[in-house]
Amino acid sequence: MVMAGLFLAKFDLDGVRKLGFASFAEAFNVIGYALRGRPASIKNYRDEFDPLFPNRRKGWHKRQTRDYCMKVFESYKHLDLNTFAALLRSFFGYDADILSEIGDERASERKESVFALRLATGLAAEHYFESVQPTIPEFRSCFVENLTRLGCGYDYRLTGGGFEDFVALEVKGLTGKNGSVSFTPKEHAVAADLGERFVLFVVKNFSEKPFHEIYRNPIAGGLHFKKRKRITVHISWVTKV
């Protein structure tokens, strides 16, 4: 979070755009939740470093920069925009070469947008759910198992809390208050098979202030899914050895 604040203070709106975000608010929200922190923490660290750079904000100029922040500043102040942005992306396990192969409506202009979009729909949305789960009446007493890396067709398995059997919960994220949510063939099949035991948890409005909506049995519960087919060409180089 300190590094993200330094990046945003140094590069200002150029840094926001380099990461693919439309505004500081979106950057704070997405990066904050993706790092299991608070959006306000990212903003505060940006404000911490603002007095050290010639930008339009004054930041925390009435006191000295904290020692541990100055150590980070001295170590990374020399990084250029591209190098620093690549370093930040590496915190989330995203590789630029992999991202360049992914197509999306927001990614038509710049591959940087793919990073911001995937972070919002992936880690940020997932960690948002984890942060609010204890406050949601129907889920707060559940034991929550993270299955996001196991390819089960859903992200979390919820047990206990009054449920007779487990509940499968899939998390999706949107930058705006409305948008499109897509299911993979496996997610769609699992949702159809589990019915009332499948929950779609959508985190909306990362661009301003995130909130969530819950859809029980999304396949048969009022949402209309349209099947789309996309053909992707993959190129590889082969040799005999």
Distance between CA atoms of residues 45 and 42, nearest Å: 5
Instruction: Give the start-end residues of each E strand in 53-160.
Output: 142-146, 156-160
Q: Is the pLDDT of residue 13 over 80?
A: yes
- In 3D space, the residue among 152, 199, 144, 173 whose CA is nearest the CA of residue 33 turns out to be 173
Quote the DSSP letter at residue 148.
T
Distance between CA atoms of residues 34 and 92, nearest Å: 8
- In 3D space, the residue among 129, 121, 100, 126 whose CA is nearest the CA of residue 112 turns out to be 100
- In 3D space, the residue among 33, 37, 27 whose CA is nearest the CA of residue 7 turns out to be 27
Dump pLDDT digits (tens) for 120-169.
Answer: 889 999 999 999 999 999 999 999 999 998 989 999 999 998 888 899 99
Q: Residue 115 CB: number of other CB atoms within 10 A?
A: 24
Tokens 């929550």 locate to: 144
How high is the mean pLDDT of the chain?
89
**Which H helix or E strand runs over 213?**
strand 211-216
Pick the range with the lowest mean pLDDT from 17-26, 112-121, 126-135. 112-121
Answer for the pair 169, 155: CB distance below 8 angstroms, yes or no: yes
Which of the four pLDDT bands, split at 50, 70 and 90, describes residue 110?
A: low
Dump pLDDT digits (tens) for 34-80.
Answer: 999 999 999 999 999 999 998 888 877 788 899 999 999 999 999 99
Q: Is the pLDDT of residue 195 over 90?
A: yes
- The length of the chain, given as a count of residues: 241
**pTM of the model as a whole:** 0.85
**What pLDDT does 177 receive?**
94
Q: Is the pLDDT of residue 105 over 50?
A: no
Domain definitions of the chain by residue range: 2-118
Which of the four pLDDT bands, split at 50, 70 and 90, describes residue 104?
A: very low
Distance between CA atoms of residues 193 and 153, nearest Å: 11
